[in-house]
Chain A
């Protein structure tokens, strides 16, 4: 005899987000190696960002020294990464913000014979302008979701299922201590064998930052500054270690910026301070660059001074909380200049980053 099927009201219990045992992976800050903590290099690798994020990077202690130039000031930016898990769009990151551009006193760059009396007395100039940028991830994907990176999830699925079954069995048997212990073991397994290895995958990104003529100089005069900063960033890591390298090619199109073009290479190493997410991270990065100033005419001919600058940055990034990250760093710069005496400078770097939408 057939009887009709009956389905009573069903409430499915979703235990997501309940209690401290549930730890959502932060979307910001886990790939510290991708973020060289100095101004716009932060933009280099948008891999784990989705949606709109707001950021502020600041270098405190900038001075009249000739070691301070380019994007060494405050950078406030908003980045938007297309949150599309299945198409080309997730490789693209867009950015808009404002950035200070420092120009050292001209007397520290050029010989006095190349300067007017007014220029000889002029101080440093800080010019603020809009910047817009875009980067494209050429290869590699550090998004740890199963939709984007299924291979490690698949390879470890049997082990993951065994952990989950053991936890359910302990739950059914009302052994709470065992549930906690096995849950901790499983979470550790997931982090060490699936999530962190994905977050250390090699990635290569390329992009450019365009600086528009806008805002005003420190003297209140309209500015027509413009510059292009192209970069190529590669990241690779293993275990608690992550490494990143970035090549920058900078070209300006306005003599007001004094700097004409530059080639800068950076490498950074980063160490997670804990084996559980989200970790705080200590980083050490170094960069070396060749900087060519705008040529000037002097009575005996032309002069186009150049300089070589080496930077070292020691940084500390706090473990992100609820998607918000903050870091602090010390930046040491050494300038070798044949025309001006060598100079050293210490900058305090502050960085924040938060997911907005």
Chain B
């Protein structure tokens, strides 16, 4: 499901994603049809600009793949965008520890308005 993020119009919209365990987790960023592997070590990355008043919002989607449990993630927004932290872990999702052939997948959408 999506989070709505607002901030300073025209300012940089930054996102950081941190996944653990890093070795078996992958973050994929989707903006429109553009799919890229996203740095998941918690570094702030500019993904766009906070829209000005009246401008159409833009949406950034993160698809998090976890190949080993336990796992946890934290997504934060910064820069011109106010921080909207999204975080959880496998225990919180009721998933027992183990190793997965096909990964657990978490979808988080950020809608910058």
Which residues on A are within 8 Å of B, measured CB to CB? Answer: 1-17, 21-25, 27, 50, 83, 85, 144-147, 150, 153-154, 157, 160-162, 164-165, 168-169, 172-173, 183, 186-187, 190-191, 195, 277
User: Which residues does chain A contribute within 8 Å of B104, judged by CB atoms?
Assistant: 14-16
**Interchain Cβ contacts within 8 Å, total number:** 144
Among B67-107, those with CB < 8 Å from A are 67-70, 81-84, 86, 88, 90, 93, 95, 97-107
Using CB atoms and an 8 Å cutoff, list the residues of chain B in contact with chain A: 1-9, 21-26, 28, 30, 33, 35-37, 53, 63, 65, 67-70, 81-84, 86, 88, 90, 93, 95, 97-108
Chain A residue at smallest Cβ distance from B107:
A13
Q: Given contacts A145-B69, A172-B33, are A161 and B100 in contact (CB under 8 A)? A: no
Q: Are B37 and A161 in contact (CB under 8 A)?
A: yes
- With beta carbons under 8 angstroms apart, the residue of A1, A85, A144, A165 that contacts B28 is A165
Bound CA span A144–B23, Å: 12
Instruction: Decide if B24 touches A146 in the complex (CB within 8 Å).
Output: yes
Q: Hey, which chain A residues are within 8 Å of B68, CB to CB?
A: 144-147, 153
Contact A10–B1 (Cβ < 8 Å): yes
B106→A12 contact, CB < 8 A: yes
Residue among A160, A168, A186 with most chain B CB within 10 A: A168
A11-B67 contact in complex given A22-B100, A146-B21, A165-B35, C-beta closer than 8 Å: no
Task: Verify A153–B24 contact, CB threshold 8 A.
Answer: yes
**Bound form: Cα–Cα A222–B84 in Å:** 71
